[in-house]
Structure 1
Amino acid sequence: MLVSRLFPLATLLALPISSAFYLPGTAPRDYLEGEKIDVFVNTLTPMLNSKLHSLISYDYYDDRFGFCRPFNGIEKQPESLGSILFGDRILNSPYELNMLKNETCKLLCQSSITKEQSIFINERIKEDYGLNFLIDGLPSSEMKRDSKTQEIFLDAQGFNLGDDESIPDKPALNNHYDIYIQYHEKDTYSYISTPKSKKQYRVVGVLVYPRTVNSMISGSNSPDCFSTQPLYLSEATNNEFYYTYSISYIKSDITWGLRWDAYLHVFDPKIHWFSLINSLVIVGFLTFMVMMILYRTISKDIYRYNQIDLSEDVQEDYGWKLIHGEIFRLPQRPMLLSVMVGNGLHLIIMLIVTLLFALFGFLSPSNRGSLATVLLICWTLFGCVSGYTSSRTYSTLGGDQWKSNLILTTVLFPIVVFSVIGLLNLFLIFASASGAVPFGTILAILLLWFLISAPLSIAGYFYGLKHGSFENPLKTSSIPRQIPPKPWYLNQWISAILGGILPFGAAFVELYFVLSSLFGNRAYYAFGFLFLTFLIVVITTATTTILFIYFTLCAEEYRWHWRSFLIGGGSAFWLFTYGIWYWVSRLSLDSFTSVVLYFGYLFLFSLLDFLIGGSIGYIATYFAIRRLYSSIRVD
């Protein structure tokens, strides 16, 4: 929901002033005693324990699992666009929960599993797959204690499909679930005591502990949930067993507005702070270094250069001052450069707005997929940024084929991204994974692109043409100057790799938690750390690029345009390298499809990082060079 629920004025006047408010789509639901609580099931996903073994998710009602189905048929629940893109497939379930009604060893159904299904289920148990329930918008969780901070939190990864630790190579299926519902009695503002039957309650916590129980007793139609014998699925014959569950309600002092606090646990907060402080030190050092160069070295050079009597044909200076007639010479492939700069700035604005929404708490964790939805909406609405930036950049670089530049700005980057995602989606379809994006969702995204993003990009491009190019402070000489040999570390590609170390070093700790969230089915919510880290990376990228380009200009190398973009985007190389290390150390992917998915997503992240960092480096360098060369006197 994008608008909040409106309450009648009389109701507002009848209630005292409250100190809390509810975000759109997160209004609480009140239950009476005995009222039904809906239980929804989500996809089965691999859990990140010691290592992650797969990246493929499965539909809960996949025939190969043989789970109990609702008597009234399977019904899909409405989901946001971002939730679908992230692989959520929320469906109804046969579980019957009624507020404050405890149940013990309640039979869900009797399941029949073939030997082929047993082989499939046992493989998924070995890969640490987990089940995910949703009860009143809260994910199923297990209560755990942080080994470092000793804080108790709710791990929302779900709960294990089976147990693979008791006997090696003999997994046991968890077929009994102990469900604990934490509830809070709603506060009433009436001077007359409310009868118990009229009291209202709210769900504030969901705990699910699975067990493996061979509860089927020969000659009895009732399950024995207290049996100590595990349930092992035979891969040689068919299997018959019960699915059972128990329900217990626990009163809690946690109010509804604070019920997510136990889920939003920040792992290793000291590491976040250490990384942030370390990054601030790096930024401070780089900024100080650049300021010293600009204030002392360059200022003295400019002063001495301006004191030269040009009529006497004095040539005492060297370095960056001698290439003033080459500094704004047209680079190679200016059209491609302007397209990349435009799309990079488009992504930067998209990230900033999304992080601000997340920072101020508008992306509620109860609204599943809200982060991906806002990212997609921002990318659609800020298409004008790419058109405007590409237009002015291309004009400044002296380009005159504006029609081709307009088309490439609008379609090049989306086509590359959609092609890679479409290829990865084919692998998901062939693997029968629930994470495969449905055709209707693909069509909706294409419509957003064609009907909103592309027209806005075109409008932004023509608006940029109206403003024209940036006026360069110096004219370009007719004959190119010869470039002398330069040190090895100023080679274009070596500079890009070296220049990417510092921006990557400012963010690699936070990157670990982001990758764990994306691939390990863990919710990420340290948006304050992420926003500050992003700002630090922007400043570090800009200052590092300016510093390297200054050293390059001092070596009389005036081809700085592509060099500045490559240095700014050099962190993408280290991001991809770090992704390989993460794959080796934290992942143990058993299937070819999972490996292709991982490196496909890693390539996309590296591409986005390259465009973002390259745009920052180019824009910062261009305006720094304009400021530098506008300070010298040239006749």
Structure 2
Amino acid sequence: MALVVFFIILGAIHFVQVSVGSNINFTRVNQSSEINNKRAQNAIDGDLFSFSKTEIGLNESWWGTFEAPTRVVWIFIGVGQGHYSVFVGDNVTYQQSALCASVQTPSGSDITYSNSSCKNIVKGNTMTVRRIGNGSLVLYEITPVGCPQNCKDGCINGPCKECIREHYGPMCNKKCIQVCTDNTCDIEKGECLKENIVVAVIFGICVLVIIACGVGFFIKRRAKFIKLFKLNARPSDDDEIVVTYSRSERYVERPNTGIDTRAPAQVPTSPTSNCPVEYVHMIDGQNSPKLSPDELIKYLEKRQNEESLLQDLARLPGWMMGRCFEAEREENKAKNRSSTLLPYDRNRVVLQPMAGIDNTGDYINASYIAGHGREKAYILTFGPFSTDTKLDFWRMVWQTNSTCIVMLTALREGEKKKCLQYWPEESEECGPFFILIRNTETFEDYVIRHILLRKREETRRLTQFQLTTWGENKRRRKIDSLLRLRCHVNSVTYSDKVPTIIHSGPGISRIGTYISIDILLQKGSEDGVIDIIDTIVKLRSQRAYLLNTRKEHQFLFSALKAGFSHDSRDDERDEKDEKDDESIEEIYVNEHSKADVYYEDGEEVVLWMNTVGPYHNRQETYSYFSLPFCAGPKESIGHYHETLGEALQGTELEFSGLDIDFKGEVKKTEYCTVELNEEKYQAFVYAVKNHYWYQMYIDDLPIWGIVGEISENGDDYYVWTHKKFDIGYNGKQIVDVNLTSEAKKKLTAGAKISFSYEVHFTASKIKFDKRFDKYLDPNFFQHRIHWFSIFNSFMMVIFLVGLVSMILMRTLRKDYARYSKEEDLDDMEKDLGDEYGWKQVHGDVFRPASNSLLFSSLVGTGYHIAVVSLCVIVFSILGDLYTERGSLLSTAIFVYAATSPVNGYFGGSLYARMGGKVWIKQMMVGAFMLPVAVCGTAFFINFIAIYYHASRAIPFGTMVAVTCICIFVILPLTLVGTVLGRNLAGQPNYPCRVNAVPRPIPEKKWFMEPAVIIFLGGILPFGSIFIEMYFIFTSFWAYKIYYVYGFMLLVFVILTIVTVCVTIVCTYFLLNAEDYRWQWTSFSAAASTAGYVYLYSFYYFFFKTKMYGFFQTTFYFGYMALFSLALGIMCGTFGYIGTSYFVRKIYSTVKID
């Protein structure tokens, strides 16, 4: 299926690419020879499945004639293996001047598709394709393209050099990115180069001037700064597109494997060596040790030798290295227990037609495997898992004349079913076969069954060996039992010339381990030489994923040492390596963590139904089954809230009742029916009218679907009744889920509606730790605009900091000079002088702020919020908090509780320095200030949610848990921080004495009043993040999760810097007006930023969203008020911290009497 999809997509790309130019048609085609009816016409029939092919020969060729001499500027071509040249001339020609293009299929690929422009100016009535060297010419498709219709110069000098207005690109098929003054743009990039150059020069000059000023100032101040900025650039090349493809979608060369692609290719050995074999770089130049058994034992005794050999084996490619057309056919998929463990076409077991059996096809998932000195020594297959595969299994046994079956698994291991019992307890019929158990021998680790298999008049004897304790034993016991089983099997099959059938449960790792041990022990005993790497290379060339993990290699080494030494006792290091019994069924190579979820084939996959609600009101959600949906027939299972955040966010997981098994295909199946009475009918109609959608989870991956839709005339309402799940998996893990809603039914009172579902599993290359990346929505905004806004903000911050610093330092220098001059005057001159400025309030500037208890509590809370915000942002960047339900909120609550000492330390120490006495009260206020505001707002909204029966209603148990956290965690930790703060930093240390009597505040201009400064102080910080506000709001309120956390860190830094700078300037103006009330002013001026953010939330609600309803409105503005409150406290704290340092600095450097 994947192959078909690939060709369809490639065909679409081909159509789009050639349609923008002028396609050139052939009137007649021919080729130098023909084989198997692969005619020359197959290369121009538009069918990417068909191809023309010649006999094996030297420089085979294919040619086609045009209607008239034509200039060719572009070609689309698909060829098989080899090196090909394409020529255009008046007749068949191979002259270098007529060369249009050269195409070579990379090593390890069967097909190459190339879409590129001609290298030379070529014109003629004949196009010739020539295969260089000896071999068959294979041509899948070729399409010559003339000059694009949007080309301005008509391709007079070869490929198009200039497009008509408003177009660009090699085929002039793209619209210009920018509107240039002459309506033209650069043919490669689509940009206005002249305008861009002017803009770039002007912008560069401005930047250089700003940087020069800043550098000059900082050099003068003898400060050293280092700035590092990285910009990742992605090169693009539209001139040529080459697609490399192997006929099996899993057979591709993987990047970063450590394989040197320039190394000479190795040819894997195959039992069917006369079939085509795909060449793969198997060994990366490592020296494969060829050792005798005794030398091998000594070699592996050294840890470094074993590790070196393990690393060499790890570098071997483990993916598909052959075609699997038959296994991937739609009618054969049901016979595969796994969609990744497939037999190659070249060595698969082909079932022959058999009388008395319906035509079920010739396919079985089984491969011939070569042994030591025998081409078809083994048959690797799966244990039967259905009635059809059971019959095919016995057909294979009969057809191959096999006399021995080795079964490396129990029927069940733990709770997992490994294999169907395909033999009877005594006797039974299976199709045309009669199976009789003659007798059974039971040993400690395995069972031997002697079987009579009869078909009509012919009877055969065979022996089945079943290893029953693999899943229970430790490594040492496994090796003992496996070696004893092998000896017993070989005693029965010693003289056989027929293959031994070996199967396990759903995997092939045990089979690969058994076969490799058997081959290597035979080689060691008969030839005296062992080559482990060569053996594994040959095994993998016959079946993918054999011996593909480090644990399997270690197990193999231990088994070989035990087998050659005739001593099953592993050394101490082997026991140390295996901490516990490991499952050797792992067939994937991806690294994984303990939290990853793995599924066995056929294991249940749970579909959880979460919530349903209006699309535009993302927070107004209800239980999925609050609508008259129905559940499937499976027995219900319960779900509990895994995290506190999951409960607070209103997660309401309920079991769907649908039967989904890992890798189990489910055709369209009806699972329930709903009869629409008036109440249910009205419920569905209301949901469709309000654009309700629902959310589900499969393996923690969220899925969304729409309940229904309204007809174009608005009179009829429809509900979607069929859910189609497309689940992607990588190894034993689910990595992708997609839902398609189908089969809409008209809603009619009294009607019956049947709901159905289907499930399809598809192999995916997505890694488990990257499976949430598709939810990051990188196209939310164009990256260019997004990062330009960030760059713009940073440049503004740099300019602001430099400008403010230079102006302020210059002003302060003048103040210092003036005050120094006044110090030289005598008292009479001072009395006659006109003293003014910030120095005059030196005796009051460090006077405690009014209502110091509240002020210190706010500052302590601000420190706390800043630390929590920074920690959560950093954790989000370093981890994947968005991948688990409620994890972000849970993390924020945990960090807030754990960092409570920060609040107590800074709030308590500030209160002590201000001379506060009731520190217990201050500690209580600081500890509960924000939690009371949050809980009060949440509980108020909770009452509304309860009234609406919304899922956002917080359970009573969660309320109790939050209250306990506040009382038993936050309060004690805040107390600890307060005590530490009062003792370590609670002593006042001001550079000026505080006068006993406050100095009267003189009259001043209206714009110097604290209220005006506070009002204006938040404008600039808000302006610095204004552009980013829309990103932030949409990320949280519309659940548009993209790279918001790293973005938030930059916004956090910008806001902090701008807030501190603006607050320092405001404080300087206030002190210069001889007003010493700077503490509350600096805090409030910075905190006023939050007021502008809250005002922006009104604009966003009414103009940027479609939210409606009392519940959603209350929820939005309630929590936006909380957000603004927290932001205001944090910004106010930043403003106070920066201003406090500034005030201390200027008053410590001036002489005060």
User: TM-score, normalised to structure 1's length?
Assistant: 0.84
Counterpart in the other structure of 2:767: 255
- Does the alignment pair 1:543 with 2:1074? no
Query: Amino acid of the residue matched to residue 606 of structure 2?
Result: D
Which structure carries more helix by proportion?
Answer: 1
Name the residue aligned to 2:625: 61
State how far apart, in whole Å, the 2-side matches of 1:19 and 1:294 are.
Answer: 61
* Cα 1:498/1:67, change in 2 over 3 Å: farther
For 2:638 and 2:624, the matched residues in 1 are separated by 12
Letter in 2 for 1:240: K
Are residues 251 and 54 of structure 1, via their aligned partners in 2, closer, same or farther at CA, if it must alter by over 3 Å? Answer: closer
What is the Cα deviation at residue 110 of structure 1?
0.4
1:309 aligns with 2:824: yes
**One-letter amino acid of the structure 1 residue matched with residue 1040 of structure 2:** R
CA contact (8 A) 1:77 1:92 kept: no
CA RMSD of aligned residues (A): 2.5
Q: CA deviation at 1:81?
A: 1.2
What is the CA–CA distance in structure 2 between the aligned matches of 1:125 and 1:169, rounded to whole Å?
A: 12
For 1:580 and 1:304, the matched residues in 2 are separated by: 49
Which residue of structure 2 aligns with residue 130 of structure 1?
693
Is this contact kept in 2: 1:54–1:591, CA < 8 A?
Answer: no
Q: Counterpart in 2 of 1:72?
A: 635
Counterpart position of 1:207? 738
Distance 1:623 1:23, change over 3 A: farther
8 Å CA contact retained: 2:729, 2:736 = yes
Q: For residues 321 and 103 of structure 1, do their structure 2 counterparts lie closer, same or farther at Cα, with a shift above 3 Å needed? A: same
Corresponding residue for residue 520 of structure 1 = 1038
Name which structure has the greater RCO, CA cutoff 8 Å, separation 6+.
1
| SS of 2:650 mapped into structure 1 | coil
| Partner in structure 2 of residue 274 of structure 1 | 788
Matched, 1:427 2:941: no
Using a 3 Å threshold, how does the CA distance of structure 1 residues 349 and 303 change in structure 2: closer, same or farther?
same
Q: With the length of structure 2 as denominator, give the TM-score of the two structures.
A: 0.47
Distance 2:968 2:1140 in 1: 33
The whole-number CA distance in structure 1 between the counterparts of 2:875 and 2:1127 is 21
Match of residue 485, structure 1, among 987, 992, 1003: 1003
Is residue 2:890 matched to residue 1:343? no
Task: Report the Cα distance in structure 2 between the residues aligned to 1:281 and 1:518, rounded to whole angstroms.
Answer: 27
Partner of 2:1093: 575
Q: Deviations over 1:21-47 (max 9, x none)?
A: 55663x141332x33322112112433
1:179 and 1:412, CA in 2 relative to 1: closer, same or farther beyond 3 A? same
- 1:164 equivalent to 2:676? Answer no
Which residue does 1:106 correspond to in 2?
Answer: 669
Letter in 1 for 2:882: P
* AA at the equivalent of 2:600: Y
**SS at the partner of 1:506?**
helix
Report the AA paired with residue 29 of structure 1. Answer: Y
Q: Hey, what does 1:118 align to over in structure 2?
A: 681
Change (3 A) 1:615 1:21: farther
Query: Once the two structures are superposed, what CA deviation does each residue of 1:583-618 show, in whole Å capped at 9, x if it has no partner?
Result: 101333332222111111111111111111111111
Q: For the structure 1 residues 280 and 470, does the alpha-carbon distance in structure 2 shift closer, same or farther, using more than 3 Å as the test?
A: farther
Is the alpha carbon distance of 1:529 and 1:12 closer, same or farther for their aligned partners in structure 2, counting shifts above 3 Å? farther
The 1:399–1:137 alpha-carbon spacing in structure 2 relative to 1, beyond 3 Å, is: same
Q: What percentage of residue pairs aligned between the two structures are identical?
A: 29
Could you list the per-position Cα deviations for residues 536-565 of structure 1 after superposition, in whole angstroms to 9, with x for gaps in the alignment?
Answer: 111111111111111222222221111111
1:181 partner SS: strand
Moved more, 501-510 or 555-564: 501-510
Q: Decide whether aligned partners of structure 1 residues 623 and 355 sit closer, same or farther in structure 2, where only a CA change above 3 A counts.
A: same
CA displacement at 1:54 relative to structure 2: 6.1
Supply the distance in 1 between the matched residues of 2:875 and 2:1005 (Cα, whole angstroms): 46
Q: CA deviation at 1:521?
A: 3.4
Q: 1:530 to 1:249 in 2, by over 3 A?
A: same
Counterpart residue number, 1:298 = 812
Q: 2:81 matched to 1:81?
A: no
Q: Distance in 2 between matches of 1:597 and 1:291?
A: 43
Alignment partner, residue 182 of structure 1? 728
1-structure distance, mates of 2:907, 2:842: 25
Q: CA deviation at 1:300?
A: 3.2
Distance 2:920 2:670 in 1: 68
The alignment of Structure 1 onto Structure 2 pairs a total of residues equal to 569
Amino acid at match of 1:46: P
453-462 vs 72-81, greater mean Cα deviation: 72-81
The change in CA–CA distance for 1:405 and 1:24 in structure 2 (over 3 A counts) is: farther
Equivalent residue letter for 1:309: D
**Alignment check: 8 A CA contact 1:68 1:243 kept:** no
Q: In structure 2, do the counterparts of structure 1 residues 129 and 322 end up closer, same or farther at CA, with 3 Å as the change threshold?
A: same
The equivalent residue for 2:415 is none
> Paired residue for 1:287?
801
- Aligned 8 A contact 2:857 2:925 in 1: yes
Pair 336,163 (structure 1): closer, same or farther in 2 beyond 3 Å: same
Counterpart in 1 of 2:1016? 498
Range moving further from structure 2, 294-303 or 347-356: 294-303
SS in 1 for 2:796: helix
Which one of the candidate residues 610, 614, 623 is aligned to 1:46?
614
Q: Does the Cα contact within 8 Å between 1:279 and 1:505 map onto a contact in 2?
A: no
Q: Which has the higher strand share?
A: 2
Of residues 422-431 and 412-421 in structure 1, the stretch that sits farther from structure 2 once superposed is 412-421
In 2, the alpha carbon distance for the partners of 1:256 and 1:604 equals: 36
| CA distance in 2: counterparts of 1:182 and 1:272, whole angstroms | 32
Determine helix, strand or coil for the equivalent of 2:727: strand
Contact 1:497 1:571 in 2 (8 A): no
Inter-partner Cα distance in structure 1 for 2:988 and 2:1017: 27
- Secondary structure of the structure 2 residue equivalent to 1:243: strand
- The separation in 2 between residues aligned to 1:171 and 1:243, in whole angstroms, is 16
Change (3 A) 1:259 1:415: closer
User: CA offsets, 1:51-92, max 9 Å, x none?
Assistant: x24631101122x43332554235124421112212222222
Aligned counterpart, 1:622: 1140
The structural deviation recorded for 1:212 is: 4.3
Alignment check: 8 A CA contact 1:569 1:609 kept: yes
SS of corresponding position for 2:636:
coil
Counterpart residue identity of residue 792, structure 2: N
What SS does the corresponding residue of 1:507 show, helix, strand or coil?
Answer: helix
Q: Deviations over 1:444-465 (max 9, x none)?
A: 1111111111100011111111
Deviation at 1:333, TM superposition (A): 1.3
Distance of 2:683 and 2:1027 partners within structure 1: 37
Give per-residue Cα distances to partners, 1:430-474, cap 9 Å, x unaligned: 110011111111111111111111100011111111121341111
1:364-379 to 2 correspondences below 5 Å: 364-379=881-896
Tell whether 2:396 aligns with 1:396.
Answer: no
The alpha-carbon distance between structure 1 residues 30 and 293, as it changes in their structure 2 partners (threshold 3 A), is: same
Amino acid in the other structure paired with 2:714 = P
Unpaired stretches in structure 2, ≥5 consecutive residues: 1-576
Letter in 2 for 1:613: C
Residue 328, structure 1, aligned to residue 846, structure 2: yes
Q: 1:169 to 1:355 in 2, by over 3 A?
A: farther
Q: How far apart, CA to CA, are the structure 2 residues paired with 1:273 and 1:46?
A: 32
Bigger radius of gyration: 2
Other structure's SS at 1:43 match: strand
Native 8 Å contact 2:628 2:674 kept in 1: no
Aligned partners of 1:172 and 1:212 also within 8 Å: no
Instruction: Say whether 1:558 aligns with 2:1073.
Output: no
Any idea what SS the aligned residue of 1:371 has?
helix
- Corresponding residue SS for 1:31: coil
CA distance in 2, matches of 1:133, 1:282: 44
Helix, strand or coil for the counterpart of 1:168? coil
Q: Which residue of 2 aligns with 1:145?
A: none
Alignment-derived partner of residue 598 in structure 2: 29
Query: After the TM superposition, which segments of 4 or more aligned residues of structure 1 sit over 6 Å from their partners?
Result: 10-16
Q: 1:556 to 1:212 in 2, by over 3 A?
A: farther
